[in-house]
Structure 1
Amino acid sequence: MIEYLPCIFLWWLAITFAGWLVFPLVFRCGMLLPDRGLGIAKLSGLMLVTLGATWLRFTGMGAAMGYAFAPIVWTVLALAAFNFMLSRRYAKAIRTFFQEGGWRMALCYEAAFGIAYLLFLWFRSHFPDATFDVQFYGAEKWVNLTTLTALWRNAGIPPMDPWLSDHSMNYYYFSHLIWAMLARVSGTVPEVAFNLGLGTTFALLVTMAFSAGWALTERKRGACIAVFLIAFAGPILTWSQLPALMKTVKVSGLGDALQNFSFWAPSDAIPNTRNE
């Protein structure tokens, strides 16, 4: 994992930039929220940049520069101009928000995102493979990596189908497109971007759960409880495996314990039914 630290932090920096890029917009839309939309800023930025770049790709603008940068640059510039106008219009409200403790809230969100992001990447560093083998947390991961790689390699939208030559992909792929865009911008290869995307998905979940808890209780304790309930304590089958997990950790270490822990059953399978 250490050799990938530059990729990890460059990826994190790109996500943070996307969040602050659209903060004036989410601030305006979240005026009634205690955090003024800070909790959804990163996801909003990623989605808006991806949507804008995809639309520009369909229109053909900037095609001469290639998919990797031209549509993204145009989208970022448009969002920057629009949010600059919003920031001037709501400058006093934004300044007051940060003077009254908004900067502490921003630091809390960044800490929550960073801890969740690095924690999940640490976990994935033990089992980084994308495989069909459920024992190694596979299932759809191989197909997800294939989709991500196709989006990373292809200049057009929709991308070419990796399964069927000379046909476009007939599958939902917007979330994959977000990570493919980040990978191209940050210079990250798909096999690394795949795990960074998984870590980011978990970190965004934690951040938005923290935001929801804060909005409902306006207390850090309430926000932390929301994170625990939403991101960690959901599946009952996860908790039923904890005693066996702790025993395995004591006997043979964390690596073997995680290998024998079933993440598939709590999240995707109901006994005697079709999965999912």
Structure 2
Amino acid sequence: MIHFLAWYLTLIILGALTFPLVYRLFPKFADRGYSFTRAAGMLIWGYAFWMLTSLGIAQNNIGGLMLGLAVLIALSLWASQRGEGLRDPLAWLKDNLKLVFTVEILFLLSFALIALLRAANPEALGTEKPMELAFINAILRSPTFPPRDPWLSGYAISYYHFGFIMTAMLAKLTATAGSLAFNLMTALIFALSAIGAYGILYNLQSTDFRLQTLDSRHQTLDSR
């Protein structure tokens, strides 16, 4: 329960830090990218951390995680320099509280649902699950990147592993064991997919509504 709350609060903070950036990146979206803030934050933070650690600028520790997060914050601050700065996204949030609450409730329920299901059956058995858990633990124990191969001592992982790096990031930041992080990340992927799908439908519906409104206005003008 403690680790679930730690991950949930971390994702809430990450979304808040990322929103000024996605607000500028998606000006045509009805939700201004709000439903994608957490996913975007994870990708940008993860890529910055991976790149800095792979180049030897940072280490695979809390300091490296904070440095990667600083890159994300810097991008959000840079994006907020346009227009009224942070006033624009804050004003948008106040004007769209219904959407914000809907996304937040959907995220919490989706995250909690799969976390409960995984808690009832937490074993990492079958298909590639043991390998995935081994990769997560190997990344947690690697001082730098590329992470060490759990199967072949002295060699780096020669397999796509960026998703496991993001899992290990959250695990290291919240002091979560690799086995728990494996199940929490499964729940998180489901939750991010749920709000992402909702955001896509919301934006499509809003776009369709605007197009229908414009079309009806044109028809009215033509009839006159």
Question: What range is the shorter-chain TM-score in?
Answer: 0.7 to 0.9
**What TM-score results when the alignment is normalised by the length of structure 1?**
0.71
RMSD: 1.6
Out of 69, 74, 84, the position equivalent to 1:81 is 74
* Partners of 1:212 and 1:78 in 2: CA distance: 27
Q: Is the 8 A contact 2:133 2:178 kept in 1?
A: yes
Alignment of 1:153-232 (within 5 A): 153-218=141-206
Deviations 1:36-66 (A, max 9, x none): 0011100110111111111111222244xxx
**Does residue 116 of structure 2 align to residue 122 of structure 1?**
yes
Report the counterpart of residue 3 of structure 2 in structure 1.
7
* Partners of 1:206 and 1:81 in 2: CA distance: 28
Report the counterpart of residue 106 of structure 1 in structure 2.
100
* Partners of 2:44 and 2:177 in 1: CA distance: 23
**Does residue 9 of structure 2 align to residue 23 of structure 1?**
no
Pairwise CA distance, 1:88: 4.2
Instruction: Give the residue type in structure 1 aligned to 2:51.
Output: W
**What TM-score results when the alignment is normalised by the length of structure 2?**
0.86
Pairwise CA distance, 1:110: 1.1
Aligned pairs, number: 205
Pairwise CA distance, 1:178: 0.3
Instruction: Give the residue type in structure 1 aligned to 2:175.
Output: G
Q: Is the 8 A contact 1:25 1:83 kept in 2?
A: yes
**Does residue 35 of structure 2 align to residue 39 of structure 1?**
yes
**Bigger shift: 74-83 or 119-128?**
74-83
* Partners of 2:70 and 2:50 in 1: CA distance: 15
Q: Is the 8 A contact 2:56 2:144 kept in 1?
A: no
Pairwise CA distance, 1:114: 0.6
Report the counterpart of residue 130 of structure 2 in structure 1.
142
Secondary structure of the 1:89 match is coil
Instruction: Give the residue type in structure 2 aligned to 1:27.
Output: Y
Unaligned runs of 5+ in 2: 208-224
Instruction: Give the residue type in structure 2 aligned to 1:107.
Output: F
Larger RCO: 1 or 2 (CA < 8 Å, sep 6+) = 2
Report the counterpart of residue 61 of structure 1 in structure 2.
57
Q: Is the 8 A contact 2:137 2:178 kept in 1?
A: yes
Instruction: Give the residue type in structure 1 aligned to 2:95.
Output: E
* Partners of 2:203 and 2:187 in 1: CA distance: 24
* Partners of 1:81 and 1:104 in 2: CA distance: 29
